[in-house]
Amino acid sequence: MNSKKGKSGQKGKRLAKTASLKGSPKQWPADTRLGAPRTAKRQEQPAGAYTVVAPDPGVTNLDKIKHVVVLMMENRSFDQMLGYLRLNGTRDDMNGLAPGSGNAYNGKSYPVFHQTSTTLRSRQDPCHDGRCVAEQLADDNQGFVRNYAETHPDRVSELVVRGIYTLTRAELEWYYQFGVSEMFPDKWERFVAPIPEAERGDMMAAYRKRLVGSDRKAQLEAARAWSLWEGETITLLPEPETSDKFGEDDYAIAFARIENHYFVHAGWLDEGQLLRDAWKLKDIPGTIVHGRYDMPCPARYAWALHKAWPKADFHLIEGAGHAYSEPGILDRLIRATDKFAGK
């Protein structure tokens, strides 16, 4: 008896959920029916032969979503989750890939196409371990191209790299401990200001303590100081249109926390690993572009890469710092891509 009452109660509860939907299940909106084709077939059965199940409220909630933001490292992550909905014609209102979309690299076009499988072959797949991800994120994500080229040299026809940074301890200390501080004493004073003198022996660690801490005010103060230190030292001459964004709260928090996180761990790289493994690029034509007065990235490491990769053209740009937007650097990058594109 108790068992029957339990079932009866459950059935009554399930039917009660459908009371707010007017009309028969066949008249309900298609996205609120469980398997529309099967609903029509069930209606041919005698009354009481089946139980109508209320629609999943989660489906209706999808209509409340206005924007979806996906942080990704690879295009395929976005394609598999959301972008593909528009590419295959399922959701025209989705701001994703569309028929005719494509990517360009070194003057070549790579159109997006339907794949029969979402699994990449090993020769297509980038490296996924911590060391590779750290390298991929380096140099404003330019490291992704370099890392892929080292992982799959047979899949890369040419390579253009700019602002060489190999994440050695010497490079990190040059920028965050002693070196660039001698060139910009006024800006360095603002950089060290949030850190008590007793903690200044390891500036990266001291900043990490505040950037991951729970004190929002201290976190924001540290983020802005860290971010502006870079924004104001990456160009040869002051360039407010480049540096101003580094002081914006949201930008500074994101920039400082990500960069500091990777630098504190030296990119999870062995000391000198990038130059040690540069021989893997030996058969790939390339171009190295580096500003003579690049403060964050000492030119000696770009020169060392050139010596380890002699097949690459080397351009040390006079009158330029680190930013790609500086005229001499941008001009040489465009020339390099035009060359490889056969223009």
Q: Divide the 343 residues of the chain into consecutive groups of 10 and give the mean pLDDT of each group.
A: 44 40 48 44 49 63 66 43 58 62 57 55 58 62 63 78 96 98 98 98 98 96 98 96 94 96 93 93 92 97 96 96 95 94 78
Provide the pairing of β-strand 159-162 with 286-291: parallel
Provide the pLDDT for residue 244. Answer: 95
Q: What is the pLDDT of residues 252-273, one digit of tens each?
A: 999 999 999 999 999 999 999 9
pLDDT for position 83: 54
Write the CB contacts of 280 (distance below 8 Å, at least 6 apart in sequence).
149, 150, 153
Domains of the chain: 2-63 (no CATH), 68-119 (no CATH), 126-167+271-340 (3.40.50.1820), 169-267 (no CATH)
Considering the entire predicted model, what is its pTM? 0.58
> What is the model's pLDDT at position 109?
57
CA atoms within 13 A on the CB side of 271: 4
Distance (Å, whole) CA 25 – CA 36: 9
Give the pLDDT score at 257: 96
Burial of 41-56, coded b for 16+ CB within 10 Å and e otherwise, reads eeeeeeeeeeebebbe
The pLDDT score that the predictor gives to residue 28 is 47
Q: What pLDDT, on a 0 to 100 scale, did the predictor assign at position 116?
A: 54
Neighbour tally for 157: CB within 10 Å = 12
The tokens of 171 are what?
């490079």
pLDDT at 64: 74
Q: What is the pLDDT of residues 64-104, one digit of tens each?
A: 776 665 544 444 444 444 555 666 666 666 556 666 666 55
Q: How far is Cα 38 from Cα 218, in angstroms, rounded to an integer?
A: 59
Rounded to 5°, the CA angle 309-325-163 comes to 25
**CA atoms in the 13 A half-sphere facing the CB of 138:** 31
* Res 133: pLDDT: 67
Cβ pair 39, 29 in contact under 8 A: no
Looking up tokens 């500036």 gives 203
d(CA 337, CA 343): 9
